[in-house]
Structure 1
Amino acid sequence: MIFDKLINYLKLDKQEFSFQFNSHPNYPSALAFSDTLNFMGVKNDAYELDKEYWDELPEEFIAIVDNSFSLVKKSGSSYSVYSEKAKTLNKEELHKKSTDFVLLFEKTDQAENRLAFNFQPLLYLVFAIILIYSFFSQSLYEAFFNLLSLAGVYISMEIFNQKFGNNSTVIGSICGDTSAKQTANSCDKIIKQDKTSILGLKFSDFSLIYFAGLTILGLFLPSTAYIVKGFTIVSVIAIAYSLYIQAFVEKTFCRVCLLIISILGGQLALRILFFENTPFSVGALLLTAVMWIVTFSAVLYFSTILSQKENLQKSNAKNLRFKRNYELFKSQILENERIRFQDTETFSLGKKDAKLRLSIVSNPYCGFCKDGHKIMEGLLEKYPDDISVQIRFNYSPERADEKYTKLLSAFSSIYHNKPQNEFLKAVEEWFETRDENKIAALSGSTAQEDLTPFIEMTKDNSSAGLNFTPIFILNGYQFPDKYDREDIWFFVDELMEDEDFQ
């Protein structure tokens, strides 16, 4: 089975993927494919989904098209399909050539990790150093020129960030209300609908490149005055172009754009009035070339990374919306065979006759069980009159040591002799400290409790195939492994209201 385009798109090692996939016990099944993706670090969930629900799928998903695992990308009314080769199908063709199998995946957000560091304090420090150097080492007009360049860099960076959905208080204070009702002073129409595109960069991006480059050149004044003069003259073209777009194309003026034009105009005036002619320097020209290449490359790099991050966030948001659809969740949980436990008196909490009954199969020495118990406690706290909970600790006397027997006996004593909230606090205390003596002290008793109900309950769990922990059971149905346990919060209200689930 060949799916080169899909593997390349997911940026996986083709040789490693093929080895893991082919060596899977269930090769070449969908389970083998899904497990291999998980092994390679691509988190995914597989579904058997009728075609009528495919319109609700995210823009990117994996399906079996023409008997081959394929990446499917929505593109308007058509679909781009990537497997061995890339092809385009319409909706009817895709449905006809595909099975009901779909696989949703989440790509690793590398861009977010790269940009996790907050650069603002460092940036302000650089600004301060440049200003101190300018006002103490250069003439007054050169220092003011650099000050205007830094102002241009700062405003351009705010525009750059706002382009990717980050609201800027500075831009907001300059432009005022940018809602649809305030189009006369709106900056959005000019900034966000900028049709300029050179290697993916907009006109506002070149503003950042220009001012950043001019700031560096300004540090070497007056040696670079000849080159700075040339750039300030070229800025006249940018001023004219911006005014033309605002006045005649978009027919609205952008205040922040006018502010940048004012900065450019101020620099042009300083150049005409104060800058003296300096001889041409090959060294200054080489410095300028290197500086512009580095600045352009840096802005292009961060623009690409932020665009990928924005697209990834949108894709993952749609994935979550789809995954949190209650009808889909219900169909997944009802796929499991209903488990009917015997009536065993163990740790039962909450309202006994509640419509929603949660059982948690757990082990006090299981590290992952701590988070499961936190979810259970949170549900009891939020829905004290609408949910019942049973904690099902596995216990076999032939395999349990003295410490576990002592711990379970202490829990049983607290449960039978103290209020429910104290029992819950004791369980919470245990998962925080893992100290059997503390739990025994909380029980206030050294007597051995009857643990027969736990032995019977463990047999019950085992006969139902519940050997791993933690496991959530909702009204007898095992919580779907395609969902994280934390996802239960999104479905609790609907589960309690759904008569079919009672």
Structure 2
Amino acid sequence: MIDFIQKKINFNDNIIDVVGEFLKLSHIEIDLAIVEKEILNHPEYPSLVSIVDFFEYFDIEYGTFSPSIEQLIEGFFPCITQLQINGEMYFSIIQSINGDLVKYYDPKLHEFKNVSLAGFGKMYRNLVFMIETSSFEKLPTTKKFIANKFTSKLFLLIFIPVAITVIGLKDYASGATNTLLYYIYNLLSYVGLMVASALVYYEVDNNNVLFRKVCGKSNKNTDCTAVLKSKGAELLGVKFSYIGFCHFSALLIVGIYGNSNIFTTIFPLVSLCISPFIIYSLYYQGVIVKSWCKFCVGIQAILLTQACLFFISRQEIHKISYLLFANYLTIFIATSTLIYIGLLNLVPIFQSAVMYKHVKIGYQKAKFLYNGFWNQLKNQESVSFHNLNYLKFESNKNVDTIVTIVCNPYCTHCSEAHYHIERLYNRGKINFNLVLASSIDKEDVRYLPVRHLLAIAYENNETYFLQAMHDWYITFEQNYQSFIMKYPLPEINELLINNQIQSMNKWCMENEIHFTPTVFVNGYHLSEVYSVDELKYAFD
């Protein structure tokens, strides 16, 4: 099967997009950042092998089949498939087939659409990939990762609106008369900044999946790239996307720190003065380029709404002196200029980061090509395990690979490393040895959990001990009091266990192991070039 899969490697880079949509359809909750990490780091990316290994990594049962277009009707849905469109290969998803109608994921438009069975058959390449969703096992860190990421995103999304609301209420309490107008105008500026940020990010990475989904070429009249890459998308060498970002950013800064009454009198007038740009942009998109950019149209709608607010605030304009008007306008222009200078310096840095991402993908491939892992491993320092009294786990006598891992019971990175080693062992890819780093000094915080785990190892079978190790690192998150509630300390031979702890501690000192986790493969130190979670690529 793998040989067959490896032949299917020349695809457009739409794997992350397709796998993300496929997970949604299959009701499997895996954060997209984890999808990107696992698939982009795969040495066979972008190929079907990287998709297969991704699902295998989560212990999700899968199968690949080669049904004809007629056999598809019998039901393989949802499934990942291969399509050939205009001579190019893409990954896609078949969601359903009802009669003569196929609902599939268009890899170019980034949306689901219906097409006739005959039309789909012209693209279909006779391969489907299916999974058994009931076999899904979540990564233990997934929930925490998603929660942290969601919290940070939520903070960024609500901070400015909350700040605007608080300032508006404060001004209202102090006698301000334009609180509602102030709130609406600034909220529009905030939305404008979000849209303008998307346009700036396009300059950084125009292949971003989200950008392509929102602003891809969904029909002949919608094409953001055609608009943003045209000559009319800049003024005197300055991109309008940058101007929009600086404009809305400066409006928010001046709006938050300025007097609300004065602000809502002056800046709707400023918005009215720049409204001719709206006519220019709409004319240029509709008549010259003959394509529409959804983000650009959104910006024009916000600018128009802000300009219309002038007709509410105009009766107050006579109360503003020319000097005050000039002062606010000068601060606005100065703020915009500083933001623009910062933008010019930051965009190349972010572009370099995106470039590094692509270089890293190539580097990942090189690391595992032509036995690169094993050749690199043999150049590393080797150690002897003679006289080391470690814990030995051997589930597959036909496997030649032995991984030795040195762990500290209170090391977070050890928790992650142990998890990956445990998965490889359970899948029969490796046998492994475990060294628990601690002294027998009762003041050593590592001593109690190490003594406890060794006592469990002596009194119980391998399965029970490995479950205890899993619970220590994952379930109880290295909390000893919670751990002993489930795993009471058995009767122990104190001398026997202390001798083993001393043996492991002496070996660590002799081999100058000062950091954990430290990993050895067949006695050779794992190179810093490779992380523990990448071992799955070497052993597969």
TM-score (norm 2): 0.51
Cα separation, 2, equivalents of 1:453 and 1:126: 59
Displacement after TM superposition at 1:402 (Å): 8.0
Cα separation, 2, equivalents of 1:125 and 1:459: 58
Query: Is residue 359–residue 392 contact of structure 1 (8 Å, CA) maintained in 2?
Result: yes
TM-score (norm 1): 0.54
Change (3 A) 1:373 1:357: farther
SS of aligned partner of 1:185: coil
Residue 123, structure 1, aligned to residue 160, structure 2: yes
Q: Residue 239 of structure 1 is aligned with which of 278, 285, 290?
A: 278
The one-letter amino acid paired with 2:524 is Y
Change (3 A) 1:206 1:446: same
SS of aligned partner of 1:432: coil
**RMSD between superposed Cα atoms in Å:** 5.3
Displacement after TM superposition at 1:488 (Å): 2.3
Query: Is residue 355–residue 496 contact of structure 1 (8 Å, CA) maintained in 2?
Result: no
The one-letter amino acid paired with 2:478 is E
**Within-5 A mapping of 1:409-428:** 413-424=455-466
Query: Is residue 348–residue 390 contact of structure 1 (8 Å, CA) maintained in 2?
Result: yes
Change (3 A) 1:116 1:229: closer
Change (3 A) 1:488 1:153: closer
Cα separation, 1, equivalents of 2:314 and 2:220: 40
**Within-5 A mapping of 1:28-177:** 118-128=155-165, 147=184, 150-151=187-188, 153-164=190-201
Q: Residue 473 of structure 1 is aligned with which of 520, 531, 540?
A: 520
Q: Which residue of 2 aligns with 1:205?
A: 242
SS of aligned partner of 1:473: strand
Residue 488, structure 1, aligned to residue 532, structure 2: yes
Cα separation, 1, equivalents of 2:214 and 2:406: 54
Residue 336, structure 1, aligned to residue 410, structure 2: no
The one-letter amino acid paired with 1:347 is L
Cα separation, 2, equivalents of 1:234 and 1:200: 19
Q: Which residue of 2 aligns with 1:30?
A: none
Alpha-carbon displacement from aligned partner over 1:92-147 (angstroms, at most 9, x marks no partner): xxxxxxxxxxxxxxxxxxxxxxx99944323213444677779x9558xx976984
The one-letter amino acid paired with 1:247 is G
Displacement after TM superposition at 1:317 (Å): 5.7
The one-letter amino acid paired with 2:359 is K
Query: Is residue 351–residue 386 contact of structure 1 (8 Å, CA) maintained in 2?
Result: no
Q: Residue 281 of structure 1 is aligned with which of 289, 299, 322?
A: 322
Displacement after TM superposition at 1:414 (Å): 3.4
Residue 445, structure 1, aligned to residue 502, structure 2: no
The one-letter amino acid paired with 1:473 is F
Residue 251, structure 1, aligned to residue 290, structure 2: yes
Alpha-carbon displacement from aligned partner over 1:193-230 (angstroms, at most 9, x marks no partner): 676557985213323444554985995469966x8657
The one-letter amino acid paired with 1:391 is L
Change (3 A) 1:184 1:453: same
Alpha-carbon displacement from aligned partner over 1:135-183 (angstroms, at most 9, x marks no partner): x9558xx97698467435523432323531699xxxx99x995333434
SS of aligned partner of 1:294: helix
In structure 2, the gaps of 5 or more residues are 1-151
Cα separation, 2, equivalents of 1:150 and 1:410: 58
Query: Is residue 196–residue 202 contact of structure 1 (8 Å, CA) maintained in 2?
Result: yes
Query: Is residue 264–residue 313 contact of structure 2 (8 Å, CA) maintained in 1?
Result: no
Q: Which residue of 2 aligns with 1:360?
A: 405
Change (3 A) 1:192 1:334: farther
Change (3 A) 1:195 1:468: farther
Q: Residue 391 of structure 1 is aligned with which of 434, 441, 461?
A: 434
Of 178-187 and 423-432, the range deviating more from structure 2: 423-432
Query: Is residue 440–residue 498 contact of structure 2 (8 Å, CA) maintained in 1?
Result: no
Cα separation, 2, equivalents of 1:295 and 1:201: 13
Change (3 A) 1:313 1:362: same
Cα separation, 1, equivalents of 2:389 and 2:465: 15
Cα separation, 2, equivalents of 1:357 and 1:151: 61
Q: Which residue of 2 aligns with 1:432?
A: 478
**Within-5 A mapping of 1:211-226:** 213=251, 216=255, 219-220=260-261
Q: Indicate the percent of aligned positions where both proteins have the same amino acid.
A: 14
Cα separation, 2, equivalents of 1:462 and 1:234: 71
Change (3 A) 1:188 1:123: farther
Cα separation, 1, equivalents of 2:306 and 2:268: 10
Change (3 A) 1:452 1:272: closer
Cα separation, 1, equivalents of 2:161 and 2:245: 16
Displacement after TM superposition at 1:348 (Å): 0.9
Change (3 A) 1:406 1:233: closer
| Larger Rg, first or second structure (1 or 2) | 1
Cα separation, 2, equivalents of 1:457 and 1:271: 77
Query: Is residue 201–residue 303 contact of structure 1 (8 Å, CA) maintained in 2?
Result: no
Change (3 A) 1:490 1:291: same
Displacement after TM superposition at 1:318 (Å): 2.9
Of 212-221 and 321-330, the range deviating more from structure 2: 212-221
Of 271-280 and 350-359, the range deviating more from structure 2: 271-280
Residue 291, structure 1, aligned to residue 328, structure 2: no
Alpha-carbon displacement from aligned partner over 1:78-99 (angstroms, at most 9, x marks no partner): xxxxxxxxxxxxxxxxxxxxxx
Q: Which residue of 1 aligns with 2:395?
A: 351
Change (3 A) 1:199 1:323: farther
Q: Which residue of 1 aligns with 2:414?
A: 372
Displacement after TM superposition at 1:357 (Å): 1.1
Query: Is residue 232–residue 284 contact of structure 2 (8 Å, CA) maintained in 1?
Result: no
SS of aligned partner of 1:358: strand
SS of aligned partner of 2:489: helix
In structure 1, the gaps of 5 or more residues are 1-114, 498-502
Cα separation, 2, equivalents of 1:222 and 1:423: 67
